[in-house]
């Protein structure tokens, strides 16, 4: 895992961003949960290897490659993790009728997953987790009824790197009221976007199983490293009591 210092060179990509080390809890980890590579997402302009190298330069403990309706082979992400010494975890960003969903714990994409209920059924069956991606973005679908959100998602991406929402803003407040977790992801499609926001965890996150477990337990918090953003995690030192509701 990378050391605590911010490794950005003066004037380099991400040099204006906050220090990741200031946000990391002792024994914890900071990961960017929303990243796209040019190998598997046509709208991305950064190769996976370059993306991971920038994550190391930013001082992150890892990234999730959440490609559009596609997933990396396990052997390939393991090779990247071994090469750079950080966690590289595979996921997907699935397009559904209610918007985009970050999915962790599935091994492959199939067209039927574009239906949110079939997607939820598959994820629950495989023991995975779902995060409602950039709900503040208009035009991605028809949002679900608020009462349905806890049954569909483990968390909401309350801060997205392409939007100005804050870690204590509207979506964060809504997630708390609905009883779901709060994450942040950069939505990386370019090199400077890596690690501009991230999600903090109170323990190391070496694999997708750990991410799923911590998402389900709400042991995570959004971090905003952009100028003026907030990236403190004091409440994660003693995470709140949480009893996951039954999924149907």
Residue 11: pLDDT band (50, 70, 90) is low
Concatenating the DSSP letter of every residue in the chain gives: ---SS--PPTTSTTTTSPPGGGTPPTT-EEEEEEE--TTT-TT--S-HHHHHHHHHHHT-SEEEEEEET----HHHHHHHHHHHTSEEEEEEEEEETTEEEEEES-S---GGGGSHHHHHHHHHHHT-EEEE--TTSTTS--PPPGGGHHHH-SEEEEEETTS---TTSHHHHHHHHHT-EEEEE--BSSGGGTTSEEEEESS---SHHHHHHHHHHT--EEEE-STT-----GGGGSPPP--PPPP-
Token digits of residue 46:
């950064």
For residues 187-213, average pLDDT = 97
User: What's the pLDDT at 15?
Assistant: 84
List Cα–Cα distances, 233 to 7, 161, 169, in angstroms: 21, 19, 16
User: What's the pLDDT at 4?
Assistant: 39
What are the tens digits of pLDDT across the range 133-152? 999 998 788 999 999 999 99
For residues 21-40, average pLDDT = 95
User: What's the pLDDT at 80?
Assistant: 98
pTM given for the model: 0.89
Whether residue 112 has pLDDT greater than 70: yes
Whether residue 31 has pLDDT greater than 50: yes
For residues 88-115, average pLDDT = 97
Q: Which residue has the higher pLDDT, 209 or 234?
A: 209
Query: Which is nearest to 91 in space by CA: 143, 27, 37?
Result: 37
For residues 193-202, average pLDDT = 96
Residue labelled with tokens 């804050």? 166
Question: Could you count the other beta carbons within 10 Å of the beta carbon of residue 5?
Answer: 10
Whether residue 244 has pLDDT greater than 50: no
CATH fourth-level superfamily of 28-233: Metal-dependent hydrolases (3.20.20.140)
Whether residue 175 has pLDDT greater than 50: yes
Residue 93: pLDDT band (50, 70, 90) is very high
Domain ranges of the chain: 28-233
Whether residue 48 has pLDDT greater than 60: yes
Q: What percent of the chain has pLDDT over 70?
A: 88
């Amino acid at each position: 895992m990378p050391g605590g210092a911010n490794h950005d060179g003066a004037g380099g990509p991400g040099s204006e961003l906050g220090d990741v080390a200031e946000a990391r809890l002792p024994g914890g980890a900071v990961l960017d949960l929303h990243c796209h590579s040019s190998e598997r997402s046509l709208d991305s302009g950064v190769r996976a290897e370059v993306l991971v190298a920038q994550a190391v330069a930013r001082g992150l403990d890892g990234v999730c490659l959440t490609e559009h309706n596609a997933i990396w082979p396990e052997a390939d992400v393991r090779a990247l993790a071994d090469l750079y010494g950080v966690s590289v975890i595979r996921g997907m960003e699935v397009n559904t009728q209610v918007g985009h969903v970050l999915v962790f714990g599935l091994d492959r994409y199939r067209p039927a997953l574009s239906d949110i209920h079939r997607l939820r059924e598959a994820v629950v069956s495989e023991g995975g987790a779902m995060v409602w991606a950039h709900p503040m973005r208009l035009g991605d679908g028809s949002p679900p009824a608020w009462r349905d959100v806890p049954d569909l998602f483990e968390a909401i991406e309350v801060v997205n790197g392409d939007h100005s929402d804050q870690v204590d803003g509207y979506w964060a407040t809504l997630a708390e009221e609905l009883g779901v977790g709060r994450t942040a992801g950069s939505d990386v499609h370019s090199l400077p976007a890596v690690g501009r926001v991230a999600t903090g965890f109170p323990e190391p996150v070496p694999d997708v199983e750990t991410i799923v477990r911590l998402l389900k337990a709400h042991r995570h918090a959004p971090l905003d490293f952009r100028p003026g953003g907030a990236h403190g995690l004091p409440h994660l030192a003693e995470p709140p009591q949480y009893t996951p509701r039954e999924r149907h």
